[in-house]
Chain A
Amino acid sequence: MSEPIIKFDKVVKRFGSVTVLNELDFSVSPGEKVTIIGPSGSGKSTVLRILMTLESINDGVVWVDGEPLWHEERGGKLQAASEKHMHRMREKLGMVFQQFNLFPHMTVRRNLTEAPIRVLKLSKKEARERADRLLEMVGLQDQADKYPHQLSGGQQQRVGIARACAMRPRIMLFDEPTSALDPELVGEVLNVIRNLAEEHDLTMLLVTHEMQFARQISDRVCFFDRGRICEEGPPSELFSEPKEARTKEFLRAVVDPDSAKGEKQASAEG
């Protein structure tokens, strides 16, 4: 396989005295579609948030596209990165949030054009054309002049995806993009993500509880438990023949929600 585009090298992340990521090793190849599953609190969001530079790390190195994300090489040593370095690194990444995080004071179209204009320095015309193409892609060309609060949750999340795409990142991070949605709106959002997943060059990292969907679109599924990868593999293997006891237990709990309580408790105790 080619050089990984994302590589976690013994990454440690603590919140106070709680160690959330414990010397995590994890890598993703360019163009790979990876799904992260695992119990609540196992550190799934933390992995994405570290990549998006929303959360710093305590130890280890995160590599993105061959360069350290949180460090810069100065005098032959890795030192804490400057804001300038991280600004350059962030260009490679885009993120879709569980709660959409749209800008409520901007119309749908402006949600999509603001960053391309201000950050990428696109002309208004270019940004607008790009936005309109993306809105068409997510099926919201008629909603361009509305404000986010006028849209349904599913529509808002589709705007969220289009907004991230407008920056043309090489890596897309999805943190439970459908968890805040009413069940009947999940499908429309998954369809948009499924279309994106067909783009060969785009690297995707998806945290989700939609196991069926994960099975369909991912090249690899990683089961996270207590800040480490407990088991990983192609979806056909991991879902059908999990090897680790904890994976089995988790998958059973997801499929059969009645025993899910037991699972949550187990992870809280663990």
Chain B
Amino acid sequence: MALTTEEVEKVALLSRLQFTPQELASLTAELGKIVGYVDLLGEVDTTGVEPMAHAIELLNVTQDDQTRSSLTREEALANAPKQNGEGYLVPAVLGD
């Protein structure tokens, strides 16, 4: 299945990515190949096969509601590009 440049542009916008026209062209071709590869699955005849909600047949994997210790704040913030010792700092989020 071939993807259009518009489709790739939309996915890029949703993913907050910006591409040059050259990048867009090469990504459209590359993504198209990946989607085409997945399309191979369409060749399998699934008539009469019940759709699955999950790849493995596991159900009800749960844990008890008991708290365990969390990361320390220092650990949690360690990889943040910008932080003030209390929280992550990001470019202003204004309005909603």
**Are chains A and B native binding partners rather than an unrelated pairing?**
no
